[in-house]
Amino acid sequence: MTRNIIIENATIVTPEGRSARKGEAMASVKVIENATLVARDGKITFVGPMAEMPQLQKEEYEVIDAAGRAVLPGFLDSHTHLIFGGFRPDEFEWRLKGDSYMSIMERGGGIQSTVNATRTESVEDLTAKAQWFIDRMVQMGVTTVEAKSGYGLNTETELKMLEAIRRLSDDPEQKLRVVATFLGAHAVPKEYKGRTAEYVDLMIKEMLPAVKGKAKFCDIFTEKNVFEIEDSRRFLKAAREAGFQLKLHADEIVTLGGAELAAELGAVSADHLLHVSDRGVEEMAKAGVVATLLPLTAFTLKEPYAPARRFIDHGAAVALATDLNPGSCFSGSIPLTIALACIYMNMSIEETITALTLNGAAAVGLADTTGSLEEGKDADVIILDYPNYRMLPYYVGMNCVNTVISQGRIVSKNN
C-alpha cells in the first residue's frame, strides 16, 4: 500500500511547533485555504497553498480531493487503560444509585475487580480485545494512542499486559501508533492490603527491572488511601533512575499535592487534576508539565470538570484524552470529549484541537514526530466531512471524521 499521498483543495487547520503549545498560544492554529498536503514514504514533504505546490509525478501518489472538507492532524488519545480483562457494568449501576468510586473500591470492586479478571486472561485475548477498541478509535480520527498496564499488580501479569501492548504496536497492519506506559502502581493489590510500603518495595526491586525497555513511561495513581505523596515520590524517583519518563494520576479524588509532585520531579504529564490546587496549577505551568485533562471521566463520575481555563490562563499546556477504562470511564469517544471540553470546560475549539493534537503528542513525548501538519512530521492526518472545523463541537457527540491517514496510509474511510 502506498504511503505517498497528495491531498488537494483542502482547508488545512493545524497548530504549529515541535513542543507543547502553552497558555494563550494554544488558541493559535494556522488555517490555509485552497491548500495541498504532500506526503512521501509516510512523511509530510509539503503543506501550503495549492499554487505553491512543487511539481511532482502524480502517478507516484494517491491523490485525494478534499474540496469542501477541513484537514487536521490526527488526534492523540494520550491517556487510556486499553488492556484489561472483563467488564464492570454492575459498578456503573451502583454509581447511578449513589455509590462513590472510592466506596466501590473499598468493597472489593473497582480496580481490584479488573485485576482479578485480567490475571486469568491470555495475552492473545487481551490483544484481540484491545484491537477491537483501537479499530473504533481510528474511525474517530485517533492516529496515536497511549496504552497503560496496571491491571496486573504483580510482575507476571504486568509483563503480560505490556506484551499485549507490544504486539499491538509491532503489528505491521496496525492502524495507529501505540505508546506503552507501565502502571504497576495503579492500586495496592489485595494481597498487600495495609502494606503499601512493601508493595512499593516490590515494584522498585522486582517490577521496574522486569519491565525496563518494555514501556516508555511509568505512571502512578497518587491518591489518598492509594499511593500518597511520600510513597509516590519514592517510587517515581526509582522509576526515573531506571530510565522511565514519568506520569502521574494526580489530584483526581481529593486535593493531595500530586500536581506539585509532578512539577517537582519533572514529569512529562500529570493527568485528571479535578481537584488540583492553585499552587499545583502554578507549579505545573512553571515546570512545563502537560496537564492531561479527562472530561469523560468527570462526566461519568458526575464530578466537577478539571479547571482547564485556570491551567491555560496560567500559561500551562493542556492536553485532552479519553481515559478509556472498564470502570470509571468506559468510553473512548473523541467527539464527546470535544463537546465536553468546549461546553463545560470553556475551552475554545482552537484550544481543544491543540489539546488533542500537538499537546497530546507532547504528553507522550512525540511532539517532534506528530501532532501537527508540518514538513518532516509523520503524515498523521484526518479529513472531516465538513469544511468548517467548528463543526467538531457543534455536531454534539457525533463523529465528523471522514478519512483517517496514519503515517501516510489510509486506514479508515467512513464513506
Q: Are residues 375 and 394 in the same domain?
A: yes
Q: Are residues 175 and 255 in the same domain?
A: yes
Q: Are residues 167 and 316 in the same domain?
A: yes
Domain that holds residue 387: 5-73+371-413
Can you tell me the mean pLDDT for 100-120?
A: 84
d(CA 131, CA 145): 12
Q: Are residues 58 and 121 in the same domain?
A: no
Radius of gyration of the chain (CA): 21
Q: Are residues 290 and 209 in the same domain?
A: yes
State pLDDT tens for residues 350-361.
Answer: 999 999 999 999
pLDDT for 102: 73
pLDDT > 60? residue 1: no
Domain boundary (342, 363, 384) is at: 363
Q: Are residues 352 and 262 in the same domain?
A: yes
Q: Are residues 22 and 129 in the same domain?
A: no
d(CA 357, CA 362): 9
The half-sphere exposure of 332 on its side-chain side, counting CA atoms within 13 A, is: 28
pLDDT for 46: 98
Is 83:147 a contact under the CB 8 Å cutoff? yes
State pLDDT tens for residues 164-207.
Answer: 999 999 999 999 999 999 999 999 999 999 999 999 999 999 99
pLDDT for 152: 98
For residue 291, give the C-alpha cell: 496537564
Q: Which CATH number covers residue 56?
A: 2.30.40.10
Structural domain total, the chain = 2
pLDDT for 2: 66
Q: Which CATH number covers residue 303?
A: 3.20.20.140
Q: Are residues 196 and 139 in the same domain?
A: yes
Q: Are residues 91 and 69 in the same domain?
A: no
State pLDDT tens for residues 270-294.
Answer: 999 999 999 999 999 999 999 999 9
d(CA 301, CA 311): 22
Give the type of residue at 86.
G
- What b/e readout covers 321-353, taking b as 16+ CB neighbours within 10 angstroms? bbbbbbbbbbebbbbbbbbbbbeebebbbbbbb
The label of the residue with cell 473497582 reads 110
The partner residues of 270 in beta bridges, in order of sequence, read: 248, 291
Q: Are residues 286 and 391 in the same domain?
A: no
pLDDT > 80? residue 106: no
Q: Are residues 336 and 397 in the same domain?
A: no
Cβ count near 230 (within 10 Å): 11
Q: Are residues 170 and 23 in the same domain?
A: no
Cβ count near 196 (within 10 Å): 16
